[in-house]
């Protein structure tokens, strides 16, 4: 007999036939003559109930049906007598595929803390919550490809190893095959990289954008979707050292087009979750965040607020004047802290905000300069609970303005020749953004720590598993 996944079984296999299921014991409940085993195979948050008649099986075998054990069960599918489920399986044959020691299995107890579960991240996919989160993670990845594919954007693969620092923040992990115990240095004490693997200093990428722009200026519209790395020592619930980013880049888009794309894209993803992840969302709504589904629906149904940075600062200054206390100072030119972003989104507008036209000093070199020569055409999307979920901008397409900016910021021009060529040869207006995949997942799942929406989080001091 062929094994059937529990998701398919529950979707409408007619009772009255024998079925074969395989999975892990979630719980076992005993009454006098029968045991009720909740079996889960990961295909759905739902378990199937296995009814085990003690008379029909050896005690030796019954003893081995413990929480976490892996079973193969053949039995008759019948309509369930209990209220919880529509069907259940009356076991005829049970094989223990993998025993699970009740004394040492870490997932015995219900209600383990998120911190504890992070320490057993190798096992946490077996819990209800992480099963739900990782199924939703898959669905969101699928939604993203669907969205861009339907719009005619091409999936463009950008390198993970790079010799340039897209964001210019110097938060890069170096890649080298050099013997760190025996480094050759020049007379100034600088390490010589000529004989390193790539013949120069290389790092893991912080963003695929620069190469994405190269793709876009040939293919018209591209998106990347891959891991990015940042060696920033940020121990917050919203930062990872390794996270996944989606970066569309589109030619002939202006600021308006870009904001429209950002808004449409997020709404599409959230609607996809509502349409395709009902069971998992209902579970998370019940167990993790009571307002989750409500919040997802509300975001899909409203227009995001679009607001220049300068006006945002005024609102924050007004709030301070009226007695609101922030930890970090607010002034024109400051980089907004997450408390400021959340004030605008959660208190003031009560909806997502696209903040635009930032002071050039707090943004990367590639952003298009406004006529005031002070602000650049950035378009970040700020979200309730999360703060910044998207960072985007129109790109500076003028060769002259871009090289001036690069010089001002002391970025080594010789390393950027290939990027500057896009502005030198047939330059075009273009724009793009980056969405942090895990930040989107925080929003969609209602989880509160970014370490809990990626299977194996990398953060300062943590690279287990
Ligand atoms: O705002 P960022 O730094 O923008 C860029 O990297 C641009 N090159 C994107 C582009 O225009 N193509 O990062 C983009 C997004 C942020 O809005 C945030 O959602 C996420 O990436 N992000 C992080 N997510 C998790 N952990 C971190 N350390 C993150 N840093 C940024
Ligand atoms: Mg940003």
pLDDT over 70 percentage in the chain: 100
> Rounded distance, CA 289 to CA 364, Å?
36
pTM: 0.96
Token pair in block for residue 111: 């209600």
**What does the pLDDT average to over 140-155?**
98
Q: Would you place residue 374 in the very low, low, confident or very high pLDDT band (cuts 50, 70, 90)? A: very high
The most distant pair of C-alpha atoms in the chain lies apart, rounded to whole Å, by: 85
Q: Please, are residues 111 and 38 in contact by the beta-carbon 8 Å criterion? A: no
Which of ligand 1's atoms lies nearest the C-alpha of 245? 21
Q: Would you place residue 24 in the very low, low, confident or very high pLDDT band (cuts 50, 70, 90)? A: very high
Minimum CA distance residue for ligand 1 atom 28: 239
Between the CA of 392 and the centroid of ligand 2 the distance, in Å, is: 7
Q: What is the pLDDT of residue 415?
A: 83
Q: What is the pLDDT of residue 137?
A: 98
> Rounded distance, CA 115 to CA 132, Å?
18
Q: What is the pLDDT of residue 413?
A: 82
pLDDT digits (tens, 9 = 90+) for 429-438: 999 999 999 9
In which element (H, E) is residue 35 found?
strand 34-40
> Rounded distance, CA 268 to CA 135, Å?
18
Ligand 1 site residues, Cβ closer than 6 angstroms:
166-167, 207, 209, 230, 232, 239-240, 243, 245, 247, 388-393, 432-434, 436, 438-439
> Rounded distance, CA 316 to CA 396, Å?
29
> Rounded distance, CA 122 to CA 105, Å?
12
Q: Would you place residue 83 in the very low, low, confident or very high pLDDT band (cuts 50, 70, 90)? A: low
Token pair in block for residue 254: 């202006």
Chain Cα centroid distance, residue 436: 6
Ligand 2 is an ion; residues with CB less than 5 A from it: 391
Mean pLDDT of the chain: 96
- The tally of CA atoms less than 13 A away on the side-chain side of residue 85 is 24
> Rounded distance, CA 360 to CA 35, Å?
67
Which of ligand 1's atoms lies nearest the C-alpha of 389? 19
């Amino acid at each position: 007999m062929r094994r059937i996944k529990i998701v398919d079984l529950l979707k409408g296999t007619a009772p009255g036939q024998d079925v074969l299921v395989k999975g892990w014991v979630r719980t076992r409940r005993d009454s006098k003559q029968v045991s009720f085993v909740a079996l889960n195979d990961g295909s759905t948050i739902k378990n199937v109930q296995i009814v085990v008649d003690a008379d029909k099986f050896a005690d030796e075998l019954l003893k081995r049906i413990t929480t976490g054990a892996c079973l193969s069960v053949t039995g008759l599918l019948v309509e369930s007598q209990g209220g919880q489920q529509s069907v259940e399986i009356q076991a005829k044959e049970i094989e223990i595929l993998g025993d699970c020691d009740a004394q040492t299995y870490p997932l015995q107890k219900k209600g383990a803390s998120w911190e504890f579960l992070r320490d057993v991240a190798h096992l946490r996919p077996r819990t209800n919550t992480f099963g739900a989160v990782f199924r939703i993670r898959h669905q969101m990845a699928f939604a993203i490809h669907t969205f861009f594919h339907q719009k005619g954007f091409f999936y463009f693969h950008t390198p993970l190893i790079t010799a340039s620092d897209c964001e210019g923040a110097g938060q890069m992990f170096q890649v080298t095959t050099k013997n760190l115990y025996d480094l050759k240095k020049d007379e100034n004490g600088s390490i010589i990289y000529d004989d390193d693997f790539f013949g120069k200093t290389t790092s893991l990428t912080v963003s695929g954008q620069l190469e994405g722009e190269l793709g876009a200026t040939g293919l018209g519209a591209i998106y990347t979707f891959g891991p990015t790395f940042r060696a920033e020592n940020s121990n917050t619930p919203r930062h990872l050292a390794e996270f996944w980013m989606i970066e569309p880049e589109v030619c002939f888009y202006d600021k308006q087009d870009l904001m429209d794309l950002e808004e449409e894209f997020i709404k599409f993803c959230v609607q996809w979750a509502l349409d395709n992840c009902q069971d998992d969302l209902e579970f998370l709504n019940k167990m993790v965040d009571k307002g989750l589904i409500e919040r997802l629906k509300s975001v899909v149904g409203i227009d995001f607020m679009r607001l220049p940075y300068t006006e945002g600062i005024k609102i924050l200054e007004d709030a301070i004047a009226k007695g609101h206390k922030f930890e970090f100072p607010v002034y024109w030119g400051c980089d907004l802290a997450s408390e400021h972003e959340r004030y605008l989104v959660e208190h003031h507008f009560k909806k997502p905000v696209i903040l635009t036209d930032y002071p050039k000093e707090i943004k990367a070199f590639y952003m298009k300069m406004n006529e005031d020569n002070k602000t650049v055409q950035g378009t970040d999307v700020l979200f309730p609970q999360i703060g910044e979920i998207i960072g985007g901008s129109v790109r500076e397409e003028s060769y002259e303005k871009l090289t001036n900016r690069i010089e001002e910021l002391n970025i080594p021009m010789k390393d950027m020749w290939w990027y500057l060529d896009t502005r030198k040869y047939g330059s075009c207006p273009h724009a793009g953004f980056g969405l942090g995949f895990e930040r989107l997942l925080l929003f969609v799942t209602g989880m509160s720590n970014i370490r809990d929406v990626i299977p194996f989080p990398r953060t300062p001091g943590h690279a287990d598993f």
